[in-house]
Structure formats: C-alpha cells, structure tokens
Chain A
Amino acid sequence: MTRLTGLALAALMASTALPATAETLRWARAGDSLTLDPHAQNEGPTHTLAHQIYEPLIIRDMTGAFEAALATDWAPKADDPNVWVFTLRQGVKYHDGADFTAEDVVFSINRAKSDNSRMKELLSSVVEVRAVDDHTVEFVTDGPNPILPSNLTNLFIMDKGWTEANGAVEVQNMDAGESTFAATNTNGTGAYKLVSREPDVKTVLTRNEDYWGKGQFPLDVSEIVYTPIQNAATRVAAILSGEVDFIQDVPVQDLQRVAATDGLVVKTAPQNRTIFFGLNLGPDDIANDNVEGKNPLADVRVRRAMNLAINRDAIRQVVMRGQSQPAGIISPPFVNGWTEEMDRIETDVAQAKALMAEAGYGDGFSIQLDCPNDRYINDEAICQAAVGMFGQIGITVNLDAKPKAQHFPLISSGGTDFYMLGWGVPTYDSEYIFNFLVHTRGEQRGSWNGTGYSNPELDAKIVSLSSETDLDKRNATIADIWGTVQDEVLYLPIHHQVLNWGMTDKVGIEVSPEDDPKIKYFTMK
C-alpha cells in the first residue's frame, strides 16, 4: 500500500515537473549539418544538431561552463595521474529503449579514435578506454592529461548494440564509396529524437519524453523544425515575416532592422573566435614581396610596426558596425591564459613609422595579402581596410581575396606569406592555440602554423603543457609562452568576433560563445 502511494506520488510529482507545453521552435541558420554520424565530421553545425540527439559525457552549457551529461563525476585517479575516472549516469536509456552502459562509452570512444573518424585528433592522447564496471569508465592517457575533459565535450556516445546491429561500426569510408547507416539514422540519449530529415532542407525533432534530465532543464520546446537558409537576406526575411522563431548568423547590416521589428529580439555575445593576420617570418626570403634577398617580415621591428599600424577601432566602427571586440592577442577572452593586459593594444602610426625606418624599410615595401571572402564576418572588407592602414607606414599591400576553399589550402601548403585566419578554441585552453598555431609545423603539431616560426625551446614548453598536472605551474608556462608570442609578434590580432542571434520575444535563451544552441536550455513564453 505504502509502496503504491509512493509510486502514485512519484508519478504525480513527475507529471507536475513535466513541461506540459507543446511549443514548436522553428530554427534557421546558414548551414546544415553535414551528416548524422557523430564521428564523421568535426564541424560546428554538425555538432550542434548532434547535441540535440546524442550526448557526450560532459557538455558545455550555454555560458561555456562544464556540465555533467552522461557522466556525473570525473576526476584523475588518485594513485595514477595517467588515468581519468568517469562515473556514468545511471538509468539513462537510448531512444530505442536500450540501456546506456560503460560498454557503450568504450565502444564510442574507440569508434571516434578509428582511422576514418574526424574526431580522433581530440583523442590522440588516449591510449586505452576501459570499463571498470557498468557505470565506471577509465581513460588511460599517454601521460598525465589535465585537460582531457575539455576534449570530450563534442564526443558523442552511441549505443554499441544498435551500431553493431546496423553495421555502422566503421565511420564512413570515402574511398570505399559507402555511406553508413549511422549517417542517416540516429539512436542517442539526448533530449530530442529524430523524426525526419532531408539534408539541406528540413530536419524535424521531437522531445524525448523519457529524457533523464526532465525537471532539470526547461525542455519547453516540444518540437524542433530546423531549416538551413543560406542566403542572408532570405534568412532575415524569414524571421521578419514570422516564418521562423530563431535564427543564427544575423548579418551585421540587418541587426538594426531585426531589432527594430516588434516582437523580435537580437542577442549578442563574444564568439569563441579571434581573427588575425599571419606572417611568414621564418624563411630568409619570401616569394610574394618586392624585397630581393631578404624577408622584411623576419625583422621583429617590421612586425611590431605592422601591429601598431592597424587601427582596430576603425575596423570595429566602419567595417563591423560595432560588432567586434578589438584584440591584442589571438585568444578569445574566456580561454585559460588570456589576460586583459595582453588583449589591449594602441594604434600608433608615428611609432610604427619610426620602427620601419629603424629596420631599414623607411621607404616601405610591397607584399601580397591573402584573404578569404566567404569564411569570416566581413573578411574581405577587413582586409581592404587593413590595406589602407599598412599603406600609412609605407607598406604597399596587394590584396588577393578568394573563396575559403582556395584560401585555406594556401596556408596548409605554405603558399602564402601574409594571410588572414580565424581561430576558435573548443577546449578553452591556450594549449590548443599553441599546438596548432605556435609549435613548429610538424606531423602532429603546428599544422596551422603558416608563419614558418620555429623555436625548439618554445616547442618543448608547449609539449610539456600536455602532461603538466600542477595547474599553477602549467599556467605559469602558458603565461611564459604567451610572453614570447606577444614579444615576437607572431601574429597580428584584429578582433574577437561577436555572435548575433535573432529570435521572437517568445524564445528565452542567451547566446553561447560556441554558436551551438542546445535546445533543452530554451524557455518558451
């Protein structure tokens, strides 16, 4: 009897805690998810859709802070710094009703580490994953890895049984020309289930009524209709005409228009992406300038002068219509290692000219700037503005702007001496920036370092970060590396991008720095 009342009471409480709303969120953004296979692409819109359906062990909430998802606790093992122990959430079920267990974590991480996975770089330090019992998993790394949890926030867990039964164990193999079952079907533990999907057209999701997080998250949205709308003008028209409730990627020139419309709101926050110029300072001579026999960029005084010549406030005002945050460092503000002091920089053309003269380039030189025209917000316009600013100190810049598909290979292949690049830091830690942008270009690290800069001493410090468990010591090393990067002016920072989301006043959500709305946090009035 008592048990029955207890059950009835529990049922009653559960039903009152249940969001009774039936609200549809019509959501549009510029790009679509590329695939439903959670390990086949490492790309923003793809992860964003996957986050509604699948879950990693740990997620970042809408402010960017860690939040427990499929793991409830995580900590390095007391007696072995090379092992991280994750305690898994109990009672979680997949959309098809199967139980979530440690076996699934082991399976998913191994799948994400396989050759065809695009997520494997995030797990390069993981040697082994083992299930201790049904709800405990240990990650063994090749050395102490203090920031492993931040690499796991986009690593989704799939059901081992479902994946095996449907022959989707292997992540899609381009060479074999075969698509996997998991690319078009899902079975996650997330707050929403897939109802239907036509790539580039429409994806419909419905609320998972058995979600473990019921009562813990708002879960006001009962149905999601997600439509990619590529053309910016059409996207804005769709929200103005009331055909969608929520858009990402509001073009800066339309912000006023959207904000001024009754019933619509624009919300803004700094994005996890910094825009900057890279300089090929390594070689003794470079191809794309008019100086014979030497490389003007190799002289730190020239690089300092160029850094001083950029009027970041003017770019913010004129090119970005106020929608940027001028930067003095190539790291977004919330990243571990960022300091306000380093992020501040003044424009000083007189001093820049003096430095140029001191370096022996008083008459200037000319160089080609390579710039994308379809990747970052107003990328080409920023470059155009910079051309004028460098002109003031005698540097004649020839701008060559092209689509991203042609621009980025230039950086990979070393075909450019002066280029624009933007960088986001999904781990929220400076090590990520150093690994890709500062370390000497090699097999495993430095793949985006197009500067030709190579400093073995600095490389050693960067490598040491990955296994330093004493966080104070580690932070001191990070500060030390930043000191060198800033002194050497490896890069010329421009600004931190700002994100804008447009929504009806019914929708309650704040902009996340990763540009990844997780709909379970949305409230609907």
Chain B
Amino acid sequence: MLAYILRRVGQSVLVLLVVGLVAFAMFRFVGDPVDAMLGQERTQADIERLTVELGLDRPFPVQYWKFLTQAAQGNFGLSYRQGRPVTKILLERAPATLELAFVSGIMALVGGIALGVFTAIRRRGVAANVIMTVSLIGVSLPTFLIGILLIYIFAVELKWLPSFGRGEVVRIGGWSTGFLTESGLKAIILPAITLGLYQMTLIMRLVRTEMLEVLRMDYIRFARARGLAEKSVNFRHALKNTMVPVITVTGLQLGSIIAFAIITETVFQWPGVGLLFINAVQFVDIPVMAAYLMLISVMFVGINLIVDLLYFAIDPRLRLDRGTEAKA
C-alpha cells in the first residue's frame, strides 16, 4: 500500500517537473519581456542591463533551476508586469476563479442531471427533443460567442445584468467573495452560464444515456411490476445507479472548469487567474506564467492522484493484485 502511494506521488512529481521544463522551454518563443518592460525611451544599454538583471541571458535550464529552488520555498518571484509578488497576486485572484468555477459547476451538475433525467423519461416528448436540439447548439457554439451573445441580450438590450466585473465584493480574511452582495450575485450569473454551459450539456447527455440504459434493466421492470410509484422508480432506483460515472466525469471536469476559465474571464473582465494568465502572456510576464502553469498542473496531477488512491481504496481487487504480484 505505502509503496504504491509513494510510487504514485513520485510519478506525480516527475510529471510536474516535466511540465515545468516544457513550459520554460516554451517561454523563449513567447517573446522578450525586456521590450515590454522598458518604455519607448529605452537605450541599448538598458536592454542589456535588464536582461542581465532578470537573468534572461542565462540558458533556460539555469533559469528553470533558479525558478524551482525558489518555488520550493514558496517564492515565485516578482511579476514583471505589476512589480508585486506573484504568490500574493495569485492568492488575490484565486477566489474569483474558484467562486465562478463553483457556481458554474453546481449549475452544470444540477441543470445537467435534471434535464438529463427529463429527456430520458420523456424521450419522445416535444420538450425533450427541443432541449436535445438546443443542447447541440450550446455545445457547438464557442464560449466567447455565447458570452458576447449573453452580454448583448441581458446587459445591453434588457439591462438586467452587468456586462463585466464581479460587482461589489466583501472581504473575509484573505478571501474576497461576491456571494454576499446583490451586485456580486448578479454579476456571477452570465459568466457562470457561459462557463458551465458546455459542462451542463455534457452531463445532461451522459445522464440521459445512462438513464436510458438503466431504465431497460430487469430490476427497473420488476420495480414497476411491483407497483412502485413512477417517481420512486425513476429517482430512487434508476438515477442512483447512473450517478457513478457522472460523479467521475464531474470531478475531472471541475479541474478543466478552473483551468479553462480563461476565455470566459476575458470576455466578462472577470478578475480571476485566467485573466491574469492572459495578461501575463501578452506582457511576457514569465514569473506569473510559470506559477500559473505549475499551479494548474499541480491541480490536475493532484486530482488524478486522489482518483487513483480512491480506486485503490474502493476496489479491493486492486489491492489483491498488488499483493499477489508482490508475493510472486
């Protein structure tokens, strides 16, 4: 058991190191931060001085090593763009992204399951077919277009919801939340829909397929034959048995909601880490890009690690296999 966990953790660390290395190798092609940092008035001497000061004249394995040793101590350096510690900036921005991911995740889950069950039960109904068609459109439209469309309808034409930002936020310790003010709650609606729409249609289609599958099973037929109420059959017996794959997929999708909120955040000027990353790319803010990429890979690797360990805990066969292998 311990050996297995150690091996998995070791593999994860290796993956992180490789991701970092690849990222660092790529930064050389993103552009030169020196030109972005120095204004129009810079001289050739300034360029050389700053290049040395930032350590950009050294080969990238050396830069990477410096980054790693500092990151190991929790220091991601100073943002070239803002001149403030990267760790601090990331911590400031994280609540916005996490809240957005949370709301759109809940929305995708609740909406997706409800619609999935509905379309499975009323498979031949008009409403179910309309929902299925609309969901196809939802899944094929690019995120930024959905965002701009929503802004146009709900902000410009109807003037119901704000078109950008987070509204008023309340600070609780180091966390800033938009959940406690009216403008904050209003502001999260459009970005959450934009971000969650794809996941919602995905979950809906998954639930629908699983439901259709389960509804064909013998035990459902027997339940019906026993004269159980339709509601009880659908929700207590059928839905429950579709949940396992749905939860697995949702867990994995949560990672991508956080990691790929970039477009939604840019369209809605949502002050999260995605927007921060886009700005960093444009400015060639290497410390921020490096920290962000490491953070995202830590998150994905972490989720995968947890999933692996959960399998191990849940499925006794895995343990047994390992055991026999070891003995043999």
Which A residues have a C-beta under 8 Å from some C-beta of B?
A: 34-35, 37, 40-43, 118, 121-122, 172, 174-175, 177-180, 183-184, 198-202, 227-231, 233-235, 237-238, 240-243, 374, 403-406, 408-409, 412, 423-424, 436, 441-445, 447-448
Contacts and interface: CB of A to CB of B under 8 A. Distances in A.
B281 to A, nearest CB: 8
Nearest to A406: B31
A179 B268 contact: no
Contacts of B43: 121, 443-445, 447
B163 A243 contact: yes
B54 A201 contact: no
Nearest to A244: B164
A231 B31 CA distance: 22
B271 A403 contact: no
Contact of B156 (A34, A42, A237, A444): A237
A201 B271 contact: yes
A261 B30 CA distance: 40
Please give me the 3 A-B residue pairs with the lowest Cβ-Cβ distance, nearest first. A405-B31, A42-B39, A409-B32
Interface stretch (B6-14, B78-86, B103-111): B78-86
A201 B279 contact: no
Given A42-B40, A122-B41, A237 B155 contact: yes
Contact of B83 (A172, A198, A412): A172
Contacts of B80: 174
A230 B40 CA distance: 22
Interface in B1-50: 29-47, 50
B258 interface: no
B165 interface: yes
13 contacts: A41-B83, A174-B53, A175-B53, A178-B78, A180-B83, A200-B276, A229-B269, A230-B266, A233-B148, A237-B156, A243-B155, A405-B281, A441-B44
Contact of B40 (A234, A374, A424): A424
Contact of B164 (A174, A227, A444): A227
Which of B47, B165, B267, B276 has the most chain A CB atoms closer than 10 A to its own CB? B165
* A404, A443, A447 interface centre (most CB from chain B within 10 Å): A447
Contacts of A238: 155, 163-164
B44 A442 contact: yes
B205 interface: no
A199 B82 contact: yes
Nearest to A184: B84
Nearest to B275: A200
Contacts of B282: 374, 403-405
B54 A175 contact: yes
Interface in B134-178: 148, 151-152, 155-156, 159, 162-166
- Residue among B55, B75, B78, B164 having the largest count of chain A Cβ atoms under 10 Å: B164
Given A42-B41, A444-B45, A405 B53 contact: no
A407 B269 CA distance: 26
B151 A405 contact: no
B210 to A, nearest CB: 38
Given A234-B267, A243-B163, 16 more contacts: A172-B78, A174-B53, A177-B77, A198-B92, A237-B148, A238-B155, A241-B155, A241-B162, A404-B36, A404-B282, A405-B32, A405-B35, A408-B35, A409-B32, A442-B44, A447-B44
A234 B44 contact: no
A424 B41 CA distance: 11
Given A409-B31, A443-B45, A227 B165 contact: yes
B78 A447 contact: no
A40 B275 contact: no
A234 B85 contact: no
A240 B154 CA distance: 12
A200 B165 CA distance: 10
B117 interface: no
Nearest to B32: A409
B83 A183 contact: yes
B45 A228 contact: no
Contact of A118 (B30, B39, B166, B266): B39
B300 interface: no
Contacts of A404: 31, 36, 282
Interface of B: 29-47, 50, 53-55, 75, 77-78, 80-85, 89, 92, 148, 151-152, 155-156, 159, 162-166, 266-269, 271, 275-276, 278-279, 281-284
B163 A234 contact: yes
A178 B77 CA distance: 8
A175 B35 CA distance: 17
Interface centre among A199, A242, A406, A409 (most CB of B within 10 A): A199
Nearest to A424: B40
B52 to A, nearest CB: 9
A139 B70 CA distance: 43
- The winner among B39, B45, B84, B266 for most chain A CB atoms within 10 A is B39
Q: Which residue, A34, A201, A442, A443, has most C-beta atoms of chain B within 10 A?
A: A201
A184 B85 CA distance: 12
B35 A412 contact: yes
A229 B269 CA distance: 6
A310 B196 CA distance: 48
Nearest to A28: B164
A37 B84 CA distance: 11
Contacts of A202: 165
Contacts of B269: 227-231, 234
B275 A118 contact: no
Given A35-B82, A183-B83, A231-B269, A201 B166 contact: yes
B166 to A, nearest CB: 7
A235 B156 CA distance: 11
Nearest to A175: B53
Contacts of B31: 403-406, 408-409
Contacts of B284: 405
Nearest to B271: A201
B45 to A, nearest CB: 5
Nearest to A432: B41
Contacts of A118: 37-39
Contacts of A200: 271, 275-276, 279
A179 B85 contact: yes
Nearest to A443: B45
A233 B155 CA distance: 12
A11 to B, nearest CB: 37
A201 B178 CA distance: 13
A464 to B, nearest CB: 19
A227 B162 CA distance: 13
Contact of A229 (B45, B53, B164): B164
A43 B53 CA distance: 20
Contact of B267 (A174, A231, A436): A231
A227 B187 CA distance: 15
Nearest to B76: A177
Contacts of A183: 82-84
A241 B81 contact: no
B42 A121 contact: yes
Given A34-B82, A198-B271, A443-B45, A41 B40 contact: no
Contacts of A174: 50, 53-54, 78, 80, 83
B218 to A, nearest CB: 54
